[in-house]
Amino acid sequence: MSTTDKPLVNRVAQSGLITLKLEDHYPQAEMVTFDLKDYLFKELILKEKDFRADLKAHDWSQYQDKIVLINCSTDAIIPVWAYMLVASHAAPYAAEVFQGSQEEYLLAHYRSVIDAIDPSEYEDARLVIKGCSDLDVPLTAYVMITDKLRPVARSIMFGEPCSTVPIYKKPIRRK
């Protein structure tokens, strides 16, 4: 039998590697920013009466099923209740309401996703943390998943199953 007659064998599929794709956990909903700056007098002062009237008149339906990120892009002192008031208006429409930037939201989101992982499911597993994502997965998420699974995994690699960078390998215990 020549080499061209041999059946192709997918060694990656037979390797027992488990591939974890952090981009699979990227938020599906669109993220939109609600900037309090637009509601400040001279971009400095929040006038409660005007602010409440503006929020009441605002079209909140535009946030239907979206992730609303509440922040203020100016260096104004905003009372805590103002963020709470925006959240109470947005919540009936939004998929989620968060105070902070998109980067801060993604960090919190991935912390929640990774915290929910049961490490015992990866006991003695050979893991590949997939890289080269088209989505903006925060670098911190890769650090968090490594920290979470290193105590239980046999090995952790980064990249693609056919081309990985070794990250961690459990030491062999000699008797």
Whose CA is closest to 154, among 119, 117, 122?
Answer: 122
**Which residues constitute the domain of residue 86?**
31-94
pLDDT in tens, 72-128: 999 888 999 999 999 999 999 999 999 999 999 999 999 999 999 999 999 999 999
Decide if 75 is inside a domain. yes
Looking at the structure of the chain, the number of domains it has is 2
Q: What is the mean pLDDT of residues 35-43?
A: 90
Q: For the beta carbon of residue 12, count every other beta carbon within 10 angstroms.
A: 12
The band of 164, judged by pLDDT with boundaries at 50, 70 and 90, is confident
DSSP structure class, residue 18: E
Q: What is the pTM of this model?
A: 0.82
- Of residues 151 and 132, the one with the higher pLDDT is 151
What length does the chain have?
175
Q: Cα separation of 22 and 29, whole Å?
A: 16
Decide if 58 is inside a domain. yes
Decide if 4 is inside a domain. no
Decide if 1 is inside a domain. no
Position 52 pLDDT exceeds 80: yes
DSSP 141-155: HHHHHHHHHTTT-SE
Position 69 pLDDT exceeds 50: yes
Amino acid 171: pLDDT: 87
- 121: Cβ contacts below 8 Å, ≥ 6 apart: none
User: Phi, psi at residue 31, to the nearest 5°?
Assistant: -100, 130
